[in-house]
Chains A and B, each alone.
Chain A
């Protein structure tokens, strides 16, 4: 089937304004009759719930954390892009649009990206009005910095905690609506199923994580703002609770999953220190401005003190391989190059999974004080985790899974193929194509929540009668029972391996076979192995306690069960996409210099997969991508 993204036609500059005008409206006095469920309270969810509540809709918001303020948007460091052109350096909506399309390696929809660029400016205004303490210059104006390869300074920031400050802004707007009674907040609830009646999304089943009881909630529309899925690699920069569960359950109920193989591996993270490790920590990429990346030339030197390895025995491989870009080679290239060195047994540190990031030259040239001034907080964080002094000894870094560009398929309204089901933020597939540029994840989350969904959801709700189905409906009872019995089944297995043990096995397989560099053979091997890991999981898992109580092992078991199913879809998508683009790198398809080699003739489309049962081959639906404002070109950074 060919999917229709319902994108507006005509001049792109007017596309969103015209579309917005044509959308149907819900009369103010009728809005309170419509119930809207929002799952997840990160940037997308909190901003959506607050805005929809303020408009007068009857909103119910859910999060698995103990407070909506803790969603993982909070961990974003760098900043948020907007086309304000405050520095007068040539930025414009068109330039932000163009950079985002190109950065995504020409695999995103033009109309969606234009809209994102257009509303980016409103986001900054909104956040300032909320009291977000963005960085300022001495005249009191907002400050900007450069980011992620852009040639203009369009990034707004609040120290190294931009995500935290933006989320707390959205959380404060949400708190105001909770106080006003327009939003009911349900914390410590995890969505475990989507209820679909006659093909329309009608509500959700959640587990109350404190009591273990199932709860049913019906609504006229459901918004999933539940983030990304890179914890499928087990070790990632995501929070421990981040999972694919909400969108996977929706996928199993009929929502199409688009481009799952587009995953972003961030090059500068602190490497794994041991088998027991539970997560990886990101360090701002800006360090590569002054640090030189190298590994020893000889395998025999990997355990030596790096300061005693002479200059001519070091391989500054980024400078060697990419002389024009050097240590500032793009993210995907840098990540893959680090992996190659380690695969060649020249990696350093525990497990041989690390490369040096050396500041000795910069310190000699600029002095330690300058380096401290530029990156002091990062050196401090590094020392806290590794107990090593980055000024004296080269830092060790390694790439880590960070973000997922793929997600549930949505049309221009952010509605999935299931009427009534809307997907916002990282959970959808819409604007980043095959690769996300820095400082654009925060922009998308808030654009979707503050400035897109409030309009597009009205267009849908105006076409339906409110309150047609309540949680007394037979389908709710059935879904609730299904979820309950799956929970009990997980507890009853009583085998010999823990959830973490299975997650490690899955993560290792996915990282090795479907991580930074993918091959047909490796993907086929993963697809062949996954069913047996799933089978063992359902026969040999050990979860203590019961289903009817607070049980963190059971929570993790449910998430792991979903990752084990989803992993197969990710691999199948990666296998089918017989080209390299952005974060999806197929070793078979590269230029001589290692750049990703796209195949626009055969793969210029979004692949949206329809679920056909566990272990069965899913059916692919294509949405062709048309480029009318930007010309398809080789993404060169030389």
Chain B
């Protein structure tokens, strides 16, 4: 059982009033933080103090706080989600820091993710990529019995590996090119691997990569930063599959 020593931390946080505002770093002190606080609960505590002092609290996106909705999105000390393996910001705990630490907190930074306020960015570009073709064009009703389509277990498992993506955008934030190729590759692969998705695979990959370009995302140059940043451990092999599907679609 752990004791309840508390720590005091110096936070250097990006504050930006709106998309047009140039933005700046501000310094805050987080007090009485225990090792059991999650990173977001630590920020909650700082915000409670700011509100009572009559100051504007730090705005950040968050929702499920259990690592699955993909809403939370902060670059901590230069690393998306703080750099712990397979961990979102909401699952990052303060035991990974020590008393007296200085922590830099920034929003996702990418051309395709304009900042809305403080640490909140607009990730609707990821929705646009899915809208371009991240689906099978089946109708509601009128489909075959589920067991009429057989899928070999290893294929189903690989498809599921790709489908684990939570759409948080850490891969884009981690990429020096601001590319969304891990995100796009994951969806393209999930569907291309399955017989249900194979029919439209060529049209899908063309439409989704075009949407990627139109939204202002960059391209992959094999840094693998996306895989390192991904809180679900989505593998860069899905970028390879994206490229393969893309080339196949040209013929």
Contacts and interface: CB of A to CB of B under 8 A. Distances in A.
A87 to B, nearest CB: 11
Interface stretch (B127-135, B172-180, B222-230): B127-135
Dominant secondary structure at the B interface: loop
Interface string A273-312: 1101111011000000000000000000001010000000
B123 A168 contact: no
Question: Which residue among B36, B56, B59, B64 has the maximum number of chain A CB atoms within 10 Å of its CB?
Answer: B64
Contacts of B194: 131, 133
A143 B57 CA distance: 48
Given A136-B152, A176-B135, A498-B52, A75 B69 contact: yes
B153 A138 contact: yes
A161 B37 contact: no
Interface string B36-51: 1110110011001011
B13 to A, nearest CB: 15
A142 B156 CA distance: 10
Given A125-B144, A128-B149, A74 B68 contact: yes
Contacts, number: 214
A279 B57 contact: no
Interface string A61-79: 0000111111010110000
Interface residues on A, range: 35 or more
A611 to B, nearest CB: 29
B196 to A, nearest CB: 5
A450 interface: yes
Nearest to A499: B51
A273 B97 CA distance: 18
Contacts of A553: 51, 57
Contact of A303 (B1, B56, B156): B1
Contacts of A131: 135-136, 159, 190-191, 194, 196-197
A575 interface: no
A94 to B, nearest CB: 20
A384 B197 CA distance: 36
Interface residues of B, number: 76
A72 B57 contact: no
Given A74-B69, A136-B151, A278-B40, A165 B163 contact: yes
A115 to B, nearest CB: 15
Interface in A434-465: 450-451, 454
A127 B126 CA distance: 22
Contacts of B123: 66-67
Contacts of B132: 179
Given A66-B122, A240-B62, A277 B41 contact: yes
A2 interface: no
A75 to B, nearest CB: 5
Interface string B158-183: 01100110110000000000000000
Contacts of B144: 125, 129
Interface stretch (B74-82, B87-95, B98-106, B243-251): B87-95
B160 A126 contact: no
A470 to B, nearest CB: 27
A279 B37 CA distance: 11
B139 A135 contact: no
A145 to B, nearest CB: 15
Interface of B: 1-2, 34-38, 40-41, 44-45, 48, 50-52, 54-57, 59, 61-66, 68-71, 87, 91, 93, 95, 116-117, 120, 122-124, 126-127, 130-132, 134-141, 143-147, 149-153, 156-157, 159-160, 163-164, 166-167, 190-191, 194, 196-197
25 contacts: A69-B130, A72-B64, A84-B147, A126-B143, A129-B138, A129-B196, A131-B194, A133-B159, A136-B151, A140-B151, A140-B156, A158-B163, A173-B140, A175-B134, A176-B131, A178-B131, A240-B62, A273-B34, A276-B41, A278-B38, A282-B66, A384-B93, A450-B140, A500-B44, A552-B57
Given A127-B146, A178-B131, 10 more contacts: A69-B70, A124-B146, A125-B143, A128-B143, A176-B131, A179-B132, A210-B116, A385-B93, A387-B93, A550-B117
